[in-house]
Amino acid sequence: QLQLVESGGGLVQPGGSLRLSCAASGFALDYYAVHWFRQAPGKEREGVSCITSSGGFTNYADSVKGRFTISRDNANKTVTLQMNSLKPEDTAVYSCAAGPYCVTQGLKYWGQGTQVTVSS
| Residue range 85-117, pLDDT digits in tens | 999 999 999 999 999 999 999 999 999 999 999
Average pLDDT over the chain, rounded to an integer: 95
For the residues 20-46, what does the mean pLDDT come to?
A: 95
Model confidence pLDDT, tens digit, residues 2-24? 899 999 999 999 999 999 999 99
Answer yes or no: are the C-beta atoms of 98 and 50 closer than 8 Å: no
3, 52, 99, 76 alpha-carbon torsion, rounded to 10°: -30
**CA gap 80, 57 in Å, rounded:** 14
